[in-house]
């Protein structure tokens, strides 16, 4: 199903528009529209199948160390092996083009108990063509073989849509259409998406499906969205923190959905909310270096329009009966604890009084029947022991909630790293392998790869 340049322009316009392209579609609508592995069940032995894999991992010395994302792919890959497909896994590792998937391929081979050869040079980017040698290696592979393409981000075209605007598409579309068609003609016409964490506008995730005969969700991704992610939509408590102020958009979307009754917040999100609350109450509140325009290029800077957004959230939330629990003391750059920030201060963790407040809020919440909580982010610069106590102390609250029959869902990334460092897996109902993807699903914008896979399903129907 070759894709034309004109079709590619329309395809990418939909991707770039995000929620604006289909404002009424829900997460459930996307999941229902995308077929699962069963659609490929009748593909004969020897059929090549592309697998967009969750290969952005750092395997340690033994199985179980740093390879949770790879292990999430095993059921899907074994499904293909049992049917004799030739599976070509591809994806990225990190953001740097020089990164290699050599260790990933080796660990995946250990998990599958087979060789997983790595195809190093596979794309001639000057002509946007798959190298004949790479295509031949796939063609010559035996039924049941598993191969892996080297880091997709070694090629600039993989990130071509990251900063693209609709005005760029007439120039980009010929290259993107050519690449998608090259994959279909020279590697495989069937595509499985099994990369839960791949939330960026990577070409491998959102463009290649445009030329596929079949584009389906892998077993793990399908189960994550249909089960735990959907359950997170019912969260009544969100514990939200982090350095990136754009997470305020996701929190606003969650509040607007109408299920949340409690918000516990720290980090940059809390700074915006604290500043907004002070302005609504007609008092002064300094948030230190986070409000200094001299720091506008720093990730912790909070511009005035974000404070205005936070005001709207507090007003809307208060009308709905939402209680906001925000820091009352802070650990600053020199390790001291203060209750008021001065212009030169940078908050890097919550203080002990805030921990006590958050623990009170958790206790209050646990009195509800059928309670569901979502935890995302950490409370400070927790990789530095001087600023880790707030996060370490709160991880114990996850255990407390779980033991009291609260369903606790933990976003991946830093939240997952924190529970791994300070707690146990059974301290939560479910721990996601990715944080950003879950926030997309719960927040303001649809997950890009779900948009692409839904479009591919519509094209194939």
Q: What is the structure's pLDDT at 245?
A: 86
pLDDT tens for 21-51 read 999 999 999 999 999 999 999 999 999 999 9
Q: What is the token pair recorded at 174?
A: 């010929």
Model confidence band, residue 435 (pLDDT cutoffs 50, 70, 90): confident
Residues 451, 11 contacting (CB under 8 angstroms) = no
Residue 369 is predicted with a pLDDT of: 81
* Rounded percentage of the chain residues whose pLDDT exceeds 90: 82
Please give the Cα distance from 129 to 155 (Å, whole number). Answer: 12
* Tokens 């754009």 -> residue: 246
Question: What was the pLDDT predicted at 367?
Answer: 87
Cβ atoms of 79 and 219 within 8 Å: the answer is yes
Does residue 242 carry a pLDDT above 90?
Answer: no
pLDDT at 60 over 80: yes
Would you say residue 396 has pLDDT above 90?
yes
- Tell which residue, 265, 273, 275, has the closest CA to residue 240: 265
Confidence (pLDDT) at 222: 96
Average pLDDT over residues 10-19: 95
* 281 CB-side CA count, 13 A: 10
- Residue 408 phi/psi, 5-degree rounding, is -120, 120
Pick from 216, 109, 99, 105: nearest CA to 158: 99
CB 203 within 8 A of CB 153: no
Cβ–Cβ < 8 Å for 321, 258 = no
Residues 257-295: tens digit of each pLDDT: 888 999 999 998 999 999 999 999 999 999 999 999 999
Q: Is 44 in a helix, a strand, or coil?
A: coil
Q: Where are the alpha helices (DSSP H) in 121-186?
A: 132-140, 169-186
Between CA 55 and CA 93 the distance in angstroms is 6
What pLDDT does residue 244 have? 79
- Cα-based torsion angle of the residue sequence 278, 282, 283, 288 in order, rounded to the nearest 10 degrees: 50
pLDDT of residue 306: 95
Question: What value does the CA radius of gyration of the chain take, rounded to a whole number of Å?
Answer: 23
d(CA 450, CA 455): 8
Q: How far is CA 204 from the centre of its chain?
A: 16
With a pLDDT cut of 70, the percent of the chain lying above it is: 100
How high is the pLDDT of residue 257?
81
Q: What residues contact 246, with CB distance under 8 A and at least 6 apart?
A: none
pLDDT at 417: 82
Cα–Cα distance measured from residue 208 to residue 155, given in angstroms and rounded to the nearest whole number: 14
Select from 150, 162, 50, 158 the least CA-distant residue to 93. Answer: 150
- Kindly list the structural domains of the chain, giving each domain's residue range(s) and its CATH number in brackets, ordered by start: 5-227+446-460 (3.40.50.1260), 233-428 (3.40.50.1260)
pLDDT of residue 243 exceeding 90: no
Q: Taking residues 239-257, what's their average pLDDT?
A: 85
Q: How far does CA 341 lie from the centroid of its chain?
A: 32
Nearest residue to 262 via CA among 214, 200, 324: 324
User: What was the pLDDT predicted at 415?
Assistant: 82
| Amino acid 357: pLDDT | 98
Query: Is 420's pLDDT higher than 90?
Result: no
Among the ranges given (182-186, 250-254, 302-306, 352-356), the one the predictor scored with the smallest mean pLDDT = 250-254
Q: Residue 50: name the closest of 209, 224, 225, 222 by CA.
A: 209
Place of tokens 């009966």: 321
452-461 average pLDDT score: 93
Quickly state the pLDDT bin for 460 (edges 50, 70, 90).
confident
Which helix (H) or strand (E) segment is 372 a member of? strand 372-376
Mean pLDDT (the chain, rounded): 94
- pLDDT at position 413 is 75
Question: What pTM was computed for the model?
Answer: 0.90
Q: What is the pLDDT of residue 258?
A: 81
- CA dist 211 and 209 (Å) reads 5
pLDDT digits (tens, 9 = 90+) for 132-182: 999 999 999 999 999 999 999 999 999 999 999 999 999 999 999 999 999
Which tokens belong to 450?
């779900």
The arithmetic mean of pLDDT across residues 122-135, rounded, is 97
pLDDT score recorded for residue 59? 94
Q: What is the mean pLDDT of residues 122-129?
A: 96
DSSP string, 382-448: TTSGGG-HHHHHHHHHHHHHHHTT-EEEE-STHHHHHHHHHS-GGGSSEE-S-SHHHHHHHSSS--H
Strands 190-194 and 118-119, sheet pairing: unpaired
Tell whether the model's pLDDT for residue 250 goes beyond 90.
Answer: no
Q: How far apart are CA 391 and CA 405, in angstroms?
A: 22
Check whether 333 has a pLDDT greater than 90. Answer: yes
């Amino acid at each position: 199903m070759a894709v034309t340049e004109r079709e590619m322009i329309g395809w990418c316009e939909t991707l770039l528009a995000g929620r604006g392209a289909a404002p009424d579609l829900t997460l459930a609508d996307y999941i229902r529209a995308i077929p699962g592995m069963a659609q490929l069940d009748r593909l004969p032995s020897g059929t090549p199948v592309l697998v967009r894999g969750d290969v952005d991992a750092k395997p340690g010395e033994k199985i179980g160390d740093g390879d949770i994302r790879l292990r999430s792919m095993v059921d899907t890959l074994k499904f293909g092996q049992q049917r004799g497909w030739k599976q070509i896994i591809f994806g990225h590792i990190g953001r740097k083009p020089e990164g290699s998937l050599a260790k990933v391929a080796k660990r995946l081979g250990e998990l599958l108990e087979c060789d997983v050869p790595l195809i190093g040079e596979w794309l001639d980017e000057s002509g946007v063509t798959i190298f004949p040698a790479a295509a031949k290696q796939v063609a010559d592979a035996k039924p049941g073989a598993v191969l892996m393409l080297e880091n997709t981000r070694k090629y600039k075209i993989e990130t071509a849509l990251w900063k693209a605007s609709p005005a760029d598409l007439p120039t980009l579309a010929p290259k993107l259409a050519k690449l998608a068609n090259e994959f279909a003609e020279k590697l495989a016409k069937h595509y499985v998406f099994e990369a839960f964490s791949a939330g960026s506008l990577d070409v491998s995730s959102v463009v290649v499906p445009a030329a596929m005969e079949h584009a389906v969700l892998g077993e793990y991704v399908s189960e994550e969205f249909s089960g735990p992610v959907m359950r997170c939509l019912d969260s009544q408590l969100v514990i939200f923190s982090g350095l990136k102020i754009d997470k305020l958009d996701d929190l606003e979307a969650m509040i607007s959905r109408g299920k949340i009754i409690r918000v516990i917040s720290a980090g940059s999100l809390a700074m915006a909310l604290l500043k907004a609350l002070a302005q609504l109450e007609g008092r002064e509140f300094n948030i230190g270096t986070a409000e200094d325009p001299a720091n506008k290029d720093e990730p912790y800077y909070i511009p005035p329009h974000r404070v205005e957004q936070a005001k709207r959230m507090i007003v809307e939330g208060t009308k709905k009966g939402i209680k906001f629990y925000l820091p009352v003391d802070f650990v600053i750059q020199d390790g001291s604890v203060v209750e008021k920030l001065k212009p030169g201060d940078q908050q890097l963790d919550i203080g002990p009084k805030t921990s006590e407040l958050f623990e009170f809020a958790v206790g209050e919440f646990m009195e509800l029947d059928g309670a569901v909580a979502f935890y995302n982010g950490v409370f400070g610069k927790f990789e530095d022991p001087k600023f880790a106590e707030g996060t370490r102390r709160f991880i114990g609250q996850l255990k407390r909630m779980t033991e009291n029959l609260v369903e606790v869902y933990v976003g991946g990334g830093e939240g997952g790293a924190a529970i791994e460092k300070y707690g146990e897996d059974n301290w939560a109902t479910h721990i996601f392998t990715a944080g950003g993807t879950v926030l997309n699903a719960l927040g303001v914008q649809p997950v890009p790869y779900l948009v692409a896979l839904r479009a591919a399903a519509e094209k194939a129907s």
